[in-house]
Structure 1
């Protein structure tokens, strides 16, 4: 009702100017510099972006009113390029609400309005008012706008403006889905949430690609919101400016680098290569986004060794035992440096196949402080790994990792000294009936306290030969 009242007042104002005005037919009219201006022709067009332009003119002058959406509402002029009133004078001078006034003319923003009040049968009705300036900002065309905007010295000049009434659409079509300011605001909210997620506190690293992509989407959404909603207070432009062109922030790159450095320093054999490559990535990003004026970051990057030259699962850096940077260690003395030796301890088991935990870190099966890939007797049973083949007792543990190869309860370490007690061609440490009496060694009380050491073996006949070795 308020807009209709304003429309009627405006109509009456025009009617009082001395020219007959009939608003039962399409028309565009305005109070240009307080003199009635009337268009002799008029039309409306919608471009591929959905922008609506109302055009009217006579034989010497043209008025264009442009808004970014075919939706009823108020659009503020003099704020963003997408909402514009343009007047072309008879001498060819183009006056636009997007031209800023010279400070000598006014120090205050010149905001106008286009009010799209009604859309019916492919026609458009509404009102407008504005001050439009030439490119110099010194000359102005006024359609009912107040020329003195200083709030401290309010003017009594009337705000008459203009009207467009049932202007027909002659080019383009009304979109089936009309994009509005509300849609733009919702789009920005979604983009902001996506951007915020790239820097969530629970993330160990901030991914630069994700950050930049999400930032660009947010910047575009904010620009779109400015186009469809305006930005009189500059809040949207401030948010765009704060994105800094979506350049990845140096301080984030430094945080990533510090986190990666700590991971690399604390890495183990099983995860070092991945941690080292990760560190390389973030060192390079620190150079890319922060610069490297003294070359110190590049030097550190160059000195990193993330390789595993022999492909044995042990990174080169862990094959330099004394940490002197010279990879000349040769555990098995075969003349091949460990970092190039696929079998570092020469025990016949490739280093990559030696025992590891679930994280890929080497194990020390016999607990002698030498991990298996550097130990030529992995189970510490006194028999070199290269001489222990198969799985004699079928317990699923290969002999070279089994401290009781025949599963008779006596550790192999303690059976190697007895040779072949029953002379059946099978050494005791592989024979589960050492004395050949038909009774399994494990059933002859060979180790009552079950510690694998037969020192406490039972000697029933007290002849000095324990039962598991005595066949009589």
Structure 2
């Protein structure tokens, strides 16, 4: 526990001294596109086997979603089962599960959520850090959060993810792609697995968009799925 408190104090000292970040207990704050951001309300939940941590100010909502409800570090971006989401005051959803349009950048969405501590109590309190670069569904807008901290946020339940289903659709297409890759045209299940992969890719396009056209190119390359 002493090591944990020293770690948190060190993080807060570096962040507050270097970037003028304010800090209260409990809190959820950081920098949004280089400017100070602080949630005016925050809470957390355990949803689908992982943590859902939410912070909201007058201009939008941040949601941090991990694929497991344990302490640790969760990488974000392509292939990740964890996700960071920002919904602005106009309802635009930015997610680390969305790909950028190539005209905007060639760098994919990325980030990290760290769960440093979960304190027993009623309610339990969760503490950690985060940063991420997330894109809109059309890939033409980006939002950056850096030096993020959530500290002693209550695990009260009742939260619902604001995601569009892109993360789930991506995971489904990846699984279908792996199953299809394990077959060859001589196998009786080839056509069924090929069609399943095509359908999963179309579902991913509907949920996530396909700014680069790469998903549609895969669908086109599969043809009519006949051996």
Shorter-chain TM band: 0.5 to 0.7
Residue 17 of structure 1, CA deviation: 3.8
* Residues 79 and 111 in structure 1, CA contact (< 8 A), matched pair in contact too: yes
Gaps of 5+ in 1: 145-160, 173-223, 228-233, 253-289, 292-472
Gaps of 5+ in 2: 159-167, 191-225
The two structures have a TM-score, normalised by structure 2, of 0.65
Partner of 2:58: 59
Residue 6 of structure 1, CA deviation: 8.0
Partner of 1:240: 179
Looking at structure 1, the residues matched to 149 and 30 of structure 2 have their Cα atoms a distance apart, in angstroms, of: 6
Looking at structure 1, the residues matched to 77 and 5 of structure 2 have their Cα atoms a distance apart, in angstroms, of: 21
Residue 10 of structure 1, CA deviation: 5.3
Alignment of 1:162 with 2:148, yes or no, is: yes
Residue 239 of structure 1, CA deviation: 3.7
How many residues align? The count is: 175
SS at match of 1:170: coil
SS at match of 1:85: strand
Residue 237 of structure 1, CA deviation: 7.5
* Residues 98 and 109 in structure 2, CA contact (< 8 A), matched pair in contact too: no
* Residues 123 and 167 in structure 1, CA contact (< 8 A), matched pair in contact too: yes
Looking at structure 2, the residues matched to 101 and 10 of structure 1 have their Cα atoms a distance apart, in angstroms, of: 32
Looking at structure 2, the residues matched to 75 and 248 of structure 1 have their Cα atoms a distance apart, in angstroms, of: 40
Calculate the aligned-residue CA RMSD, in Å.
3.5
Partner of 1:249: 187
Q: Closer, same or farther in 2 for the Cα pair 1:139/1:243, shift >3 Å?
A: same
Partner of 1:21: 23
Q: Closer, same or farther in 2 for the Cα pair 1:10/1:143, shift >3 Å?
A: farther
Greater than 6 Å deviation, 4+ residue runs: 1-4
Q: Closer, same or farther in 2 for the Cα pair 1:238/1:5, shift >3 Å?
A: farther
| Structure richer in strand, relative to its length | 2
Residue 118 of structure 1, CA deviation: 0.9
Q: Closer, same or farther in 2 for the Cα pair 1:19/1:9, shift >3 Å?
A: closer
Residue 19 of structure 1, CA deviation: 5.5
Higher relative contact order (CA 8 A, sep 6+): 2
Partner of 2:130: 128
Q: Closer, same or farther in 2 for the Cα pair 1:17/1:249, shift >3 Å?
A: same
Alignment of 1:138 with 2:140, yes or no, is: yes
Looking at structure 2, the residues matched to 2 and 106 of structure 1 have their Cα atoms a distance apart, in angstroms, of: 38
Q: How does 1:57-136 map to 2 (within 5 A)?
A: 57-80=56-79, 82-121=81-120, 122-136=124-138
Looking at structure 1, the residues matched to 21 and 149 of structure 2 have their Cα atoms a distance apart, in angstroms, of: 15
